[in-house]
């Protein structure tokens, strides 16, 4: 059974960089894309971007200037960096494995709060 485990800092100050990592267990990263999605408190889902095992990325145009998704240092790992965060970036961040909008396996979610 494929499982995604994610981790990273949960409290940031404005202008800092959000950094999260996700590991895929029980299944391969190869041949798939892995995505980051966020959900602001009480709001809907927002796709941030995706990466495949070759490092090819696609990003949400509205976040592209501040986002970098990269392959991790370990196999089956990938990371999210979001620069210059503001309170508007406060959200639960999810990683997921799939292709495009076909997201089968999801991480448990990480609440990231941006506050001075």
Partner 1 sequence: QSVLTQPPSASGTPGQRVTISCSGSNSNIGSNNVYWYQQLPGTAPKLLIYRTNQRPSGVPDRFSGSKSGTSASLAISGLRSEDEADYYCAAWDDTLSVLFGGGTKLTVL
Binding footprint of partner 1 on the chain (CB under 8 A): 35, 37, 44-47, 50, 58-61, 94, 100-104, 106-109
Least Cα distance to 65 among 49, 45, 88 occurs for: 49
Least Cα distance to 46 among 24, 71, 63, 68 occurs for: 63
Closer residue to partner 1 (CB): 7 or 14: 7
**Shortest reach from residue 116's CB to partner 1, in Å:** 27
Strands 3-8, 11-12: pairing is unpaired
Under DSSP, the state recorded for 26 is: S
**Shortest reach from residue 13's CB to partner 1, in Å:** 27
The answer to whether 54 and 82 are in contact (CB under 8 A) is no
Closer residue to partner 1 (CB): 72 or 109: 109
Closer residue to partner 1 (CB): 16 or 98: 98
**Shortest reach from residue 83's CB to partner 1, in Å:** 19
Closer residue to partner 1 (CB): 101 or 116: 101
**In Å, how far from its chain's centre is CA 46?**
11
**Shortest reach from residue 58's CB to partner 1, in Å:** 5
Host H or E run for residue 12: strand 11-12
């Amino acid at each position: 059974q494929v499982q995604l485990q994610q981790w990273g800092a949960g409290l940031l100050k404005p202008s800092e960089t959000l950094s999260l990592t996700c590991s895929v267990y029980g299944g391969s990263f190869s041949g798939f894309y892995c995505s980051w999605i966020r959900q602001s408190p009480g709001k809907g889902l927002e796709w941030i971007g995706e990466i495949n095992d070759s490092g090819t990325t696609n990003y949400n145009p509205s976040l592209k200037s501040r986002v970098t998704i990269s392959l991790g240092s370990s196999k089956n790992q990938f990371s999210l960096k979001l620069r210059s965060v503001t309170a508007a970036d406060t959200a639960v961040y999810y990683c997921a494995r799939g292709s495009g909008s076909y997201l089968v396996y999801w991480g448990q979610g990480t609440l990231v709060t941006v506050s001075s």
